[in-house]
Chain A
Amino acid sequence: MSNEEILIKKSQKGDLDAFEVLIKEHQKKAYGIALKMLKNPEDAMDISQEAFIKVYKYIGSFNYKSSFSTWLYRIVVNTCLDFIKKNDEKLIYLDKPIITDEGNIKREIPDETNNPEIIYEKKLTKKLVNESIDKLNEQHKAALVLRDMEGFSYEEISTILDIPIGTVKSRIKRARENLKKIICKYSEQNEEKFV
């Protein structure tokens, strides 16, 4: 039995010390995911801890179908997504469809990237990118957080988000495309202020 398996078995019996050792290597990443998804450090701490509590509560039903870490991160991501859904109703995402009486209208982000040079002429700063990623819908944001910020592979993301690999590929692609559009839109707006 591996170290991890021993710790899991002990945690299943209620050994809190064993549980703390088990999750130690995952804490920073879990907190990091929550922070990038939720922005606010207090929320990130609350939500990542809520996820760890869920992991502890349901560790009895962990069945080794996936690896322990992907199971854990799935809980982290889902807890973040639930929190976002509950609390961010007021925020409008640029790529979320508008719901009208006639049905949904997909909100198109205007494509201002016709000119290929456009990004080079703008100031592509970390701040700009961070602000823009915040405007993505939560599914796209999660995909990019997991892939580019936390370094998970396509396979791992497929297990964490419980979606087929094909969907991982298209979601990441669309997320990046939308992010680029948002960056262009925002950097243009910012430029106008200086005129």
Chain B
Amino acid sequence: MNCTRFCECISLYIDNELNDIEKENFEKHLNECKNCKNEYEEMLSITNILRDIEEVELPKNYNETLRHKLENVDKSKTKKFNFKKFSSIAAAIVVLVTSVTLIMNNENLKQDNVAYDLNESSKKMERFDISEETKDDASTNDSTQFSISSLPQKSLMKEESNSLEKTKIIRNESLYIETHDLNNTNSNIVNIIENNKGYVELNDIKYLRARVFVDEIDNVINSINQIAEVSNINTNNTDITEEYRETQNTINELKNTEENDEKIDEEIIVYEELLQKYNQMLEYPNLEIYFNTKSE
């Protein structure tokens, strides 16, 4: 073993992580080389000081204050899925996805409408225009429900999801509801969402934004359709297939590099977090509901 290799092994030797052969070579060199021996003993002294530090005692009121804090946690609000974390991640991913797609200048990116906007109140006004074809139906003044399968957007999406399994598409659905009884309809819809692996992010009574688990979102929309008058559905999808694949590839490349560089480790962490965010957005599409009160 030469001096360079020796120095690389000091840390592992201290932790007894060298295999038998390496250990033997290490100890041989240790006895032969004064400089290396000094290096080793310095590292060992420092490590021993760290290891020598006594265990601390808990502060006196630790358990008392912890119990108090635990009692304040409302267990019923805690669901199996970490919704609060998801919603803040979702907000972040909106900005992230938008900027990533701009940077990558991806031509595959499909965005039907500007789905992600920051100024919700202005958007609310814009979106409230009911399209021409549905106006006629609404004017018959009965509670005709629009069956989901009759809407062209929906059937197109079904095709998409069946044939292109590997595409990564973040769904964003907007429902427009007509109601005589705003409060009741709103709370019924909240119940549907919460009973089907969804959670409400924002509820301004006339506007509701929720995230629903991707496998349930169609059920949720169907259920809403059955208990409320849906005058329009807008589907805005963001195709992140390219970005997703590129991120995966980048992670694999970084993991396969020969160098064991700290910076590479940090980069891997960043990309893996990004991938996680993508997955969370894919798993919990956005559902927006706009309520319009009908006059009696």
A residues bordering B, Cβ < 8 Å?
A: 14, 16, 19-20, 27-28, 31-32, 35-36, 41, 45, 49, 52-53, 56-58, 60-61, 113, 116-117, 119-120, 124, 126, 129-130, 133, 139, 144, 147-149, 151, 154, 163, 166-167, 169-174, 176-177, 179-180, 183
Contacts and interface: CB of A to CB of B under 8 A. Distances in A.
Contacts of B63: 20, 27
Nearest to B12: A169
Contacts of A119: 42, 45-46
Contact of A166 (B50, B65, B82, B260): B260
Interface stretch (B54-62, B162-170, B202-210, B215-223): B54-62
B78 A57 contact: yes
B53 A154 contact: no
A33 B187 CA distance: 45
A147 B67 CA distance: 30
Contacts of A27: 58, 62-63
A79 to B, nearest CB: 13
State the majority secondary structure of interface residues on B.
helix
Given A45-B65, A139-B266, 14 more contacts: A14-B75, A16-B70, A16-B71, A41-B59, A60-B79, A61-B80, A116-B38, A120-B42, A172-B15, A173-B10, A173-B12, A174-B262, A176-B11, A180-B43
Contacts of B55: 28, 32
Contacts of A57: 73, 78
B22 interface: no
B80 A60 contact: yes
Contacts of A16: 67, 70-71
A173 B11 contact: yes
Nearest to A60: B80
Nearest to A144: B50
B262 A171 contact: yes
A167 B59 CA distance: 34
Interface residues of B, number: 45
A177 B58 CA distance: 32
B47 interface: yes
A179 B46 contact: yes
For the complex of A and B, the 8 pairs showing the least CB-CB separation, nearest first, are: A116-B38, A173-B11, A148-B50, A14-B75, A119-B42, A129-B49, A170-B260, A57-B78
Contacts of B42: 113, 116, 119-120, 180
Nearest to B81: A61
A20 B51 contact: no
Contact of B43 (A56, A60, A166, A176): A176
Contact of A170 (B35, B47, B82, B262): B262
A139 B17 CA distance: 21
B137 interface: no
A133 B50 contact: yes
A45 B59 contact: yes
A32 B34 CA distance: 37
A187 B247 CA distance: 45
A179 B53 CA distance: 16
A56 B50 CA distance: 31
A45 B265 CA distance: 30
A28 B260 contact: no
B167 to A, nearest CB: 28
Contacts of B50: 129, 133, 144, 148-149
A30 B263 CA distance: 28
